[in-house]
Structure 1
Amino acid sequence: MHRLALVLSLLLTSAAVVAPASAGAAARSTTGFHWNDITAADGVVLKSNVIEPTGPGTHPGVVLVASWALNDFQYLAQAKQFAEAGYVVLSYTTRGFWASGGTIDVGGPKDIADASSAVDWLIAHTRVDPSRIGIVGMSYGGGISLLAAAHDPRIRAVGSLSGWADLAASMSGENTRRSQAAWFLQTTARLLGRPSPEMTRILGDYWADRDAAGRERWARSRSARYAIDAINRNHPAVLIAHSFGDSVFPANQMVDFYTALRTSKRLELAPGDHATAELPGLAGIRNHVWTSVRRWLDQYLRGIDTGIGEEPGVVLRPHNSSAVEYYPDWAHLTGHTDRRRLGAPHGLIATGGLDPVPPADRWSWRLPAGADTIADGGVALLTNGLEGLTGIPPIMWLPAVSRDNAAVWESGAAPVGGWKVRGVPRLHARVSSSHPRGTVIAYLYDVNALGLGSLLSHAPATWLSSPTDVDLPLQVTAYDLPAGHRLALVVDTKDPLYLDANTRNSTITLSSESWLDVPIA
């Protein structure tokens, strides 16, 4: 892992030398990169680099916050382009990683204070205009950027790329722990950083599934969702870019956060997994995310009318389309909600109907808890990441889904024009179980005439005492279901992405008075 990270850093360094300037004004001459130490408020030394224009006068500035397990070399290509456009750019390695001092704070108070220390350093040591400073980060850096904007009113613009707003929802949304994502973050932290005793304790509790209330309090203090009032008071311009299939920080939290913002704001959603949409920009390759970041900062820090401030605030790139869609706000995304009732299983390969009218007869469908099927969410970072690159979503063959271990429902064929699914599908299921604790995972598929299903969205739900109902928001999606295709809902009880709460030899029963709400544009 050390070697992989070193190779990445070297590649990014090379890219920074050859990366072309963004379209627009001719590139300005720059000072070149200088490597610096930033002394944090508690005396910890953070490693950083700075590059600035050589022209006279003051300039707008941008702080770039390194991602989890990466260092300030990460943004060399982008930093060079921003400097050539007239920005003073400071990139820093967060505490606990690489050569920066201290231990990993996981977006806690020390990380938030470090972002302000970076702003202090920028003002004290460069020709930055203190009234025109922004902050941008990917992943870990994106979450810290939002938190910093809540605590430091000097930050006037934010670019949060694949960040988080609710750390508790990321770790244990719908009471379900994310095993693959947590393992990846813990492993890279151990290889490339120094976990703090607090982080080690929290992760120990996480794997042992203990002290959920303590973990919630810890995560809440690290979540911009709970600092939204401060962000709205400080009123920075906030750009959020995220992927539908983000397996580290699921996208719904960013939709909720965007909706609660009362500032100049923009939300961009695209296919892919965690940080995959913006990744090419680290090599200086033009892509839609970094183009938006540049336009956003030019608008709100340089005072250039790029038009982005007048554009609709929600931008979608649907899964299976080359179109780019604009909506004035989140409320305009969904034209209506199509409620589909879950019907009784029938046929040789038992399948219930997804119909707009309630089923005529009462029914129940009992499943063994903890049995896997071919319906799953894939591999964290990899499966949805490949979709972002290739356009091919996770695929399975619906007839091969075990009806002994999963419940399956299918709609009628979509009419001419198909269905434009836009928003958050929601499952309401009447559930009972033979054990107080349990987990189900719901998957929504586009199924063609051959029975091949392409995954639109999915989500897990865990209960800690016997439920009577599960109300489960699946992950936000934008998907065009072609005419003649069908929607299929699969519910099973195990997925390698998650740590379920099912007990061996227990059963879970789904029954009548259940439905699926499908958001249609």
Structure 2
Amino acid sequence: MPRRRAVLSTAAAALVAAGGASALPAHAADAYTVRTLHFDVAVGPKHDQHCDVVGDLYLPSGASAAHRVPAILTTNGFGGSKDDQAGLGKTYAQRGYAVLSYSGLGFGGSGCRITLDHPDWDGAAASQLVDYLAGKKAAKDGTRLTAVTLDRAGDPRVGMVGGSYGGQIQFAAAGVDPRIDTIVPMITWRDLRYSLAPNNQLVDGRLSTDPGVTKLVWALGFFGEGVSAGLTNGQTDPGRLLGCPNFPTILCQAVGESLVFGVPQQASMAYMKAASVASYMPKIKAPTLIVQGETDSLFDLQEATATYRRLAAQRTPVKMIWQSPGHSGGQVPGDGDLADPSGSYVGQRVAAWFDHYLMGRSTGTGPAFAYFRPWVKYQGNAAPAYGTAPTRTRTLYLSGKDGLVADRKAVAAGAASYGNLPWIPTSFSEVSAVQGALGLDDVPPADAPGTAVAWTGAPLAADTDVVGSPTLKVRLDSPAAVQSQKSGVNGRLILFAKLYDVAPDGSVSLVHRLVSPVRVADVRKPLTVQLPSIVHRFAKGHRLRVAIASSDLSYLGNRSVLPVTVRTGPADPGVLTLPTLR
């Protein structure tokens, strides 16, 4: 994906406030030093593959063997480098931390291939950098560090922070190295199988584990950016450009399988599972502050919520923040800048988290769950815009062919039908992986006539604030899909559910431009869809509209003509449930 979106738009890279790092001695006025170092790390299942990792060490000027300080380990988002964390390094060195910012494998001057934060490769590399922080391992120039606080011999006081690709690495590292004391993973994934091919069908209250719908634009963006990083830095390790360029062969295979079959096949899926915290969650014991973006079509809020709930269930200390910015935009003042702990809500929370768990201070770490409310006006720090109130469930019913009513007794029998064009997308939500580069930022979401159906409610009598994931239950009728699904997963019906906000003047906005793709397991059975998690105010006088579309430009879609009719009636109406604050 373009680096502007994949890295610099992320909350973690918003911390890149001030200048790049370099191999410099002291910053006298700022009381810290910066030194560029190279490390030899042995990775892979047998630890028999050697990689060169480059990093910048930010060290408070007073840190020494006699005056040790805690450490922070951080790395880049996909397509970035160690330099992206320069603002963080400077800020936290001034706060009394040693910061080691490094370029992940395959990026920014570091060797070897991109392995998607797999514990055997990226996790192992990070663990050996922890060895350096502990004084156990020397850099390639022979430098040993003796300035980091030790909890015991060989065990440094160290936390991790970073976003997106630099978020998942923290899980990989903490899963293989219990010496890591705390982590702050930001806007990252829980399960790459869902992230890159989501299926938002709910079965018995849980997301389906069946293959979903490939995020074509994001997947190709990842692949192209990774190949570009390999070409740009090929001189550091030219061997990684042979075969599948800058990736393991299995990941080139996954791209090909997606284009041929619609989704990656079993072996590719197994690799993506292994590169995801969902496969080793019980190993995560370090206190975890999860930060996820509300404006994110790549790694959605549902992923963070699932991780949060699983960690809490296994008694791992965990808290969660839903900030405004994510991979798809949403930047607002005073929210996601880690390099500004006083002027940024998330920056303030992260600083307090590290002060508590690494400095040992009795600093409060904030509420268990907080979310940014974009309708709240504020100046400076975004703290006033954050809420913590719980939600209640509000129910609406599909009525007739296009109505949405609050009273089940008012439901009228009706049906709405749509068609599709095979292979060709006829709906547009967003393509944030490339949107800015293509000049599409101002293009509104749209559905071609006849390729989507929608149900719209009456004007709201009061502001309605939705926080969380709505659900939609419908009955489908598609004889063509009944026949098609007999051929297997690739023949199953694909659809996209979404929630619109309709203003009094008739203008329509797709909330955060998010959609919920579904590969329907069996069209003969009732379908329940988990809609995107959102934090949104439907203002008084506005109307809610829930829609189902046959395609979306960002995704691979149906390969044959599969007309669909959605039926509703008083005895068995379609149901939209909303988690609301009032």
* TM-score (structure 2 length as normaliser): 0.76
Of 499, 508, 513, the residue aligned with 2:564 is 508
The residue correspondences of 1:335-414 to structure 2 (distance < 5 A) are 336-345=392-401, 351-357=402-408, 360-370=411-421, 376-381=428-433, 404-414=450-460
Does the CA contact (< 8 Å) of 2:341 and 2:351 recur in 1?
Answer: no
Q: Indicate whether 1:54 and 2:61 are aligned.
A: yes
- Shift in Å, 1:151: 2.0
Distance 1:40 1:136, change over 3 A: farther
Which residue of structure 1 lines up, in the alignment, with residue 321 of structure 2?
A: 268
Larger deviation: 461-470 or 419-428? 461-470
Q: Indicate whether 1:129 and 2:155 are aligned.
A: no
- Shift in Å, 1:337: 1.2
Counterpart of 1:220 in structure 2: which amino acid? Answer: K
- Shift in Å, 1:107: 1.5
Q: Secondary structure at the match of 2:182?
A: strand
In 2, Cα distance between equivalents of 1:198 and 1:473:
31
Distance 1:188 1:49, change over 3 A: same
Larger deviation: 268-277 or 79-88? 268-277
- Shift in Å, 1:188: 0.4
Of 414, 417, 421, the residue aligned with 2:466 is 421
Does the CA contact (< 8 Å) of 2:295 and 2:328 recur in 1?
Answer: no
Which residue of structure 2 lines up, in the alignment, with residue 64 of structure 1?
A: 74
Q: Secondary structure at the match of 1:44?
A: strand
In 2, Cα distance between equivalents of 1:187 and 1:17:
26
- Shift in Å, 1:210: 5.3
1:282-319 CA-to-partner distances (Å, cap 9, x unmatched) read 799953333322221111101123322xx311111123
Which residue of structure 1 lines up, in the alignment, with residue 109 of structure 2?
A: 99
In 1, Cα distance between equivalents of 2:288 and 2:316:
7
Counterpart of 1:431 in structure 2: which amino acid? Answer: L
- Shift in Å, 1:474: 1.3
Which residue of structure 1 lines up, in the alignment, with residue 542 of structure 2?
A: 485
The residue correspondences of 1:452-467 to structure 2 (distance < 5 A) are 452-456=507-511, 457-463=514-520, 465-467=522-524
1:63-91 CA-to-partner distances (Å, cap 9, x unmatched) read 00221111111111210111111111111
Q: Secondary structure at the match of 1:496?
A: coil
Distance 1:454 1:497, change over 3 A: same
- Shift in Å, 1:404: 2.3
In 2, Cα distance between equivalents of 1:243 and 1:29:
33
Does the CA contact (< 8 Å) of 1:421 and 1:518 recur in 2?
Answer: yes
- Shift in Å, 1:484: 1.6
Q: Secondary structure at the match of 1:67?
A: coil
Of 432, 436, 454, the residue aligned with 2:477 is 432
Of 259, 265, 268, the residue aligned with 2:309 is 259
1:436-455 CA-to-partner distances (Å, cap 9, x unmatched) read 32211112122121111222
Does the CA contact (< 8 Å) of 1:439 and 1:502 recur in 2?
Answer: no
Distance 1:369 1:59, change over 3 A: same
Which residue of structure 2 lines up, in the alignment, with residue 173 of structure 1?
A: 198
1:161-203 CA-to-partner distances (Å, cap 9, x unmatched) read 1111111110111011111111111110010121222221222
In 1, Cα distance between equivalents of 2:16 and 2:540:
45
Q: Secondary structure at the match of 1:83?
A: helix
Does the CA contact (< 8 Å) of 2:71 and 2:158 recur in 1?
Answer: yes
Distance 1:92 1:40, change over 3 A: farther
The alignment's C-alpha RMSD in Å is 3.3
Which residue of structure 1 lines up, in the alignment, with residue 291 of structure 2?
A: 241
The residue correspondences of 1:191-210 to structure 2 (distance < 5 A) are 191-193=228-230, 194-208=246-260, 209=262
Does the CA contact (< 8 Å) of 2:290 and 2:319 recur in 1?
Answer: yes
| Same amino acid, percent of matched pairs | 23
Does the CA contact (< 8 Å) of 1:444 and 1:488 recur in 2?
Answer: yes
- Shift in Å, 1:97: 2.0
Distance 1:384 1:492, change over 3 A: farther
Counterpart of 2:413 in structure 1: which amino acid? Answer: R
Counterpart of 2:298 in structure 1: which amino acid? Answer: V
Which residue of structure 2 lines up, in the alignment, with residue 389 of structure 1?
A: none
Q: Secondary structure at the match of 2:197?
A: helix
- Shift in Å, 1:102: 1.2
Counterpart of 1:53 in structure 2: which amino acid? Answer: P
Which residue of structure 1 lines up, in the alignment, with residue 578 of structure 2?
A: 518
Which residue of structure 2 lines up, in the alignment, with residue 226 of structure 1?
A: 279
Q: Secondary structure at the match of 1:501?
A: coil
In 2, Cα distance between equivalents of 1:69 and 1:405:
36
In 1, Cα distance between equivalents of 2:328 and 2:176:
25
Does the CA contact (< 8 Å) of 2:2 and 2:433 recur in 1?
Answer: no
Does the CA contact (< 8 Å) of 2:328 and 2:432 recur in 1?
Answer: no
Does the CA contact (< 8 Å) of 1:422 and 1:520 recur in 2?
Answer: yes
Of 355, 362, 374, the residue aligned with 1:319 is 374
In 1, Cα distance between equivalents of 2:130 and 2:576:
48
Counterpart of 2:41 in structure 1: which amino acid? Answer: T
Distance 1:76 1:333, change over 3 A: same
Distance 1:177 1:359, change over 3 A: farther
Counterpart of 2:189 in structure 1: which amino acid? Answer: W
Counterpart of 2:128 in structure 1: which amino acid? Answer: S
In 2, Cα distance between equivalents of 1:290 and 1:205:
41
In 1, Cα distance between equivalents of 2:327 and 2:436:
8
Which residue of structure 1 lines up, in the alignment, with residue 362 of structure 2?
A: 305
Does the CA contact (< 8 Å) of 2:75 and 2:102 recur in 1?
Answer: yes
- Shift in Å, 1:384: 11
Q: Indicate whether 1:443 and 2:473 are aligned.
A: no
In 2, Cα distance between equivalents of 1:3 and 1:472:
32
* TM-score (structure 1 length as normaliser): 0.84
Which residue of structure 1 lines up, in the alignment, with residue 208 of structure 2?
A: none
Q: Indicate whether 1:142 and 2:156 are aligned.
A: no
In 2, Cα distance between equivalents of 1:470 and 1:452:
29
Counting matched residue pairs gives 486
Distance 1:517 1:403, change over 3 A: farther
Does the CA contact (< 8 Å) of 1:270 and 1:319 recur in 2?
Answer: no
Distance 1:393 1:431, change over 3 A: farther
Of 157, 174, 196, the residue aligned with 2:182 is 157
Does the CA contact (< 8 Å) of 2:393 and 2:580 recur in 1?
Answer: yes
Q: Secondary structure at the match of 2:269?
A: helix
Larger deviation: 486-495 or 462-471? 462-471
